[in-house]
Amino acid sequence: MTAAPVIGRSAEPVDDGFVPVAVEAHYQRPRAGIDPDREKSWLRRALPIVRAHRLSFAAALSLSFVGLVLQVQIPNLLNKAINDSIATRRVPLGYYVTWIVGLGVAAGVTGYLARLAINRTAFNIEFDLRNIIYEHLTQMSFSFYDRVQSGQLISRANSDIRSVQMYMTFAPLILIQCSIALVAFAFMLSINVPLALLAMATMPLVYVVSVKMRKSLFPVSWLIQARLAEVATIVDENVSGVRVVRSFAAEDQQLKSLAGAATRVQWSYVKDADLRARFTPAVQNFSQIGLVLVLAFGGAMVIQGELKVGAILAFNAYLLMMQVPFTMLGMLIMMGQRAAASADRIYEILDERSEIVDRPGAVDLLDCRGEIRFEHVGFSYPGGDRPRVLEDFDLRVAPGETVALVGRTGSGKSTIARLVTRFYDVDRGSVRVDGHDVRDLTVASLRANIGLVLDEPFLFSVSIRDNIAYGRPRATLEEVEAAARAAQAHEFIEQLPESYDTVVGERGYTLSGGQRQRIAIARTLLVNPPILILDDATSAIDVQVEQEIHEALSHLMAGRTTLIIAHRLSTIALAERVVLLDAGRIVADGRHVELMERSPLYADVLARTAGDESAAASSPSRGL
């Protein structure tokens, strides 16, 4: 029977498929992933990751066990030392002292090596889990991000992963320490069987309380992780939208929202602490009853001459040694419930399948000419009964042609760009590039041949050079500067404190809107794609700078298929052909002059846009 596949990468070499030119796309992937069988327990699903590190893990557990076995010898030696060296003086006391010191040193060394190995294993497992979930997130469809809050994802990729990693690595270590109780019990049996059985009489009660504790803690652990994610979502949104919050003077409102979420987390933690306060003392202190029984019955046996004093001391030492595992047992149960809740939240993400994947037999798009064709396309965004955005949409863009898409808000212009790049799949019909249905092409090769500049450009918190070279990390500074000059960004970049090495703030908010858009244009131009899509890409740039960029773009668009989603007449002038959309359909197609003469709707759309621009022209926040 063949083994089930796993979510993630295997240890064997795999074909990574299409890799864009000049992009280094390789990294040390995890050697194993999560078992996809949802019928298995969360721990069994995670076992492939542990098995991938089985050598270091086994070494850590073995060393830990050896160290504990060495420690458990000491009470037995103490028993013999009292009886043979102090009571009867048959053996020199130094003999037992030397052995006890030697065993203590050996136990300390093995304990150090065990902890070193277990911590390395723990961090390796955490590394694998974090990369598995991040790699999975990079493959998810845009429809997934349309409905999932970023704070939820951040929480699951951080605190939830840490909870799972802690349990997977330290639970076996704690169980090893608990298992040493069996070795100690064996030594106790060798000293006196009835007293050993009496000392362990409370263990069934420990088991019963532990089971009840586990069942009580699980729902609370799930609630804690969910409410921590809620707090993370609020914080993430407030940090990302800090300008909106402050512009509406809504700080107190947001603090109230955060305080409410924090209060709910607090309640969950208090409930968790209450449950642990009820059960943990019982789990930890039942072993103390064993001490009382040993002292009472063992003392009586010593008085009656049935047992030696050394045996009582050895029994007490063994019972004290057992207290540590029983103390950890309560913590282990708590960790287990939190890890189970966290694992379920992680698996909710990993069990989601991307809707946009390469079909079997998908081919790479090579030597792209740039022909784009929409054939009877029907599309609505995923999720419930959403209105149809495109209906029986037909359009052909010839290789090297520049087409402007114009229409009212909601007419489907930006959707067209998202379908060409296959951010979403059509409901009906097909989108073709160079005669290939985009669903028959590999996603990586399709998007590598398309340059997309959005109306709200996103910049990373790295240097301007790295932002421009994002699509070609190995591009030289000269190539980066050439792209920046073409996008009319070089002049303002040179005026920054560290020029191209200046690190922009989060999302690029240390720059104006126009500066961010020019850097985004330079980033796309550096990749030099055969198909270029400008989604209102000069909306935040003033008219003078826009004209300079258009001059550069007019040369760069020569021989390149370009779709321009435009509102400004100056941008539309770059196009050889204008397509007017209304309610997801093409209602007019031709040159600008022709549409002005025969399409009242086209003239109305341009008039409305011109009015909006006039209203915005007086705004001091306009990007320069």
Instruction: Please report the pLDDT score of residue 621 as a whole number.
Output: 43
Residue 73 lies in a domain: yes
- Contact between residue 275 and residue 213 where contact means Cβ atoms under 8 Å apart: yes
- Residue 376 sits at φ, ψ, to 5 deg, of 50, 50
- Higher-pLDDT residue of 15 and 418 is 418
Looking at residue 562, its pLDDT comes to 87
Report percent pLDDT > 90 for the chain.
Answer: 1
Residue 253 domain boundaries: 42-350
Which position has the higher pLDDT, 505 or 620?
Answer: 505
Per-residue pLDDT for 376 more than 50? yes
Segment 517-524 shows an average pLDDT of 84
Burial grade of 354 (CB within 10 A; 0-12, 13-18, 19 or more): middle
Q: Over 60: is that where the pLDDT of 6 sits?
A: no
Long-range own/partner contacts, residues 25-34 (CB < 8 A, 24 or more apart):
29/131, 29/135, 30/127, 30/128, 30/131, 30/132, 31/128, 32/6, 32/8, 32/128, 33/6, 33/7, 33/8, 33/9, 33/132, 34/6, 34/7, 34/8, 34/132, 34/347, 34/350
269 lies in a domain? yes
Neighbour-count burial of 94, counting CB atoms closer than 10 A to its CB (0-12 exposed, 13-18 middle, 19+ buried): exposed
* pLDDT at position 490: 87
Q: For residue 208, is it within any domain? A: yes
Confidence of residue 620 (pLDDT cuts 50, 70, 90): very low
Long-range CB pairs of 9-16 (<8 Å, 24+ gap) are 9/33, 9/135, 11/52
Q: State how far the Cα of 258 lies from the Cα of 238, in Å rounded to an integer.
A: 10
589 in a structural domain: no
Residue 190 carries which side chain, given as an amino acid letter?
A: S
Question: Residue 332 domain-assigned?
Answer: yes
CATH code for the domain in which residue 160 is found: 1.20.1560.10
Q: Which residue has the higher pLDDT, 285 or 516?
A: 516
pLDDT exceeds cutoff 50 at 619: no
User: In 1-40, which positions are buried (b, 16+ CB within 10 angstroms) versus exposed (e)?
Assistant: eeeeebbbbeeeeeeeebeeeeeeeeeebbbbbbbbeeee
149-153, 222-226, 381-385, 419-423: which has the highest mean pLDDT? Answer: 419-423
Q: Which two tokens stand for residue 285?
A: 């202190």
- The answer to whether the CB of 582 falls within 8 A of the CB of 408 is yes
Report the relative pairing of strands 561-565 and 531-535 from DSSP bridges: parallel
The letter for the amino acid at 260 is G
615 C-beta neighbours (distance < 10 Å), count? 9
Confidence of residue 373 (pLDDT cuts 50, 70, 90): very high
Q: CA separation (Å) from 206 to 279, 469, 495?
A: 10, 61, 71
**244, part of any domain:** yes
Q: What is the pLDDT of residue 207?
A: 67
Task: Name the band, by pLDDT with cuts 50, 70 and 90, for residue 558.
Answer: low
Instruction: Indicate the residue type of 545.
Output: V
**Residue 140 belongs to some domain of the structure:** yes
| 561 or 78, which is more confident | 561
Q: Which tens digits make up the pLDDT trace of 275-330?
A: 777 777 766 666 667 677 777 777 777 777 777 777 777 777 777 777 666 666 66
Task: Quick: pLDDT tens for 169-199.
Answer: 778 877 777 777 777 778 778 778 888 777 7
Using 50, 70 and 90 to split pLDDT, how confident is the model at 432? Answer: very high
pLDDT score at 431: 92
Count Cα atoms within 13 angstroms, Cβ side, for 25: 14
Tell me how far apart the terminal alpha carbons of the chain are, to the nearest angstrom.
Answer: 65
From 106-120, 329-343, 397-411, the region with the lowest mean pLDDT: 329-343
Query: Average pLDDT, stretch 252-281?
Result: 77
pLDDT bucket at 374, cuts 50 / 70 / 90: very high
Q: What's residue 622's pLDDT?
A: 43
At 14, is the pLDDT very low, low, confident or very high (cuts 50, 70, 90)? very low
pLDDT in tens, 126-146: 888 888 888 888 778 777 777
- Between residues 481 and 333, which one has the greater pLDDT? 481
* pTM for the full predicted model: 0.67
Give me the residue label for tokens 């760069």: 556
Average pLDDT over residues 419-423: 89
494 has a pLDDT exceeding 80: yes
Q: Spell 505-541 as b/e; 16+ CB within 10 A means b.
A: eeebeebbbbbbbbbbbbbbbbbebbbbbbbbbbbbb
Averaged pLDDT, 380-408:
84
Over residues 484-502, mean pLDDT: 86
Mean pLDDT of 94-117: 84
In 88-159, the DSSP E strands lie at none
Domain count, the chain: 1
Structure-model confidence comparison of residues 212 and 346, the more confident one: 346
Beta pairing class for 402-407 and 577-582: parallel
Cβ atoms of 473 and 23 within 8 Å: the answer is: yes
**Euclidean distance between CA atoms 211 and 223, whole angstroms:** 20
The 3-state DSSP class for residue 453 equals strand
Number of CB atoms found within 10 A of residue 330's CB: 20
Mean pLDDT of the chain: 77
pLDDT of residue 116 exceeding 60, the answer is yes
* Contact status, residue 72 vs residue 183, Cβ threshold 8 Å: yes
What is the C-alpha separation between 437 and 221, in angstroms, rounded?
Answer: 48
Q: Is the dihedral of CA 530, 536, 540, 546 positive or negative?
A: positive
Contact 373, 564 (CB under 8 A): no
CA atoms within 13 A on the CB side of 540: 20
| Confidence bin at 235 (pLDDT 50/70/90) | confident
The length of the chain in residues reads: 624
Burial of residue 573 (number of CB atoms within 10 Å: 0-12, 13-18, 19+): middle
The letter for the amino acid at 83 is N
pLDDT (average), residues 593-612: 76
Question: What is the spatial distance between Cα 576 and Cα 557, in angstroms, rounded to a whole number?
Answer: 11
Distance CA 100, CA 104 (A): 6
CB-based contact 472:23 (threshold 8 Å):
yes
CA 133 to chain centre: 5
Residue 544: CB atoms within 10 A of its CB come to 9
Q: Is the pLDDT reported for residue 487 higher than 70?
A: yes
For residue 279, being part of any structural domain is answered with yes
Indicate if the pLDDT at residue 5 is higher than 60.
no
Q: Which residue has the tokens 């207290």?
A: 323
User: What own/partner pairs with CB < 8 Å and gap ≥ 24 does 85-91 have?
Assistant: 87/308, 87/309, 87/310
Distance, in Å, from the CA atom of 431 to the CA atom of 329, rounded to the nearest integer, reads: 59
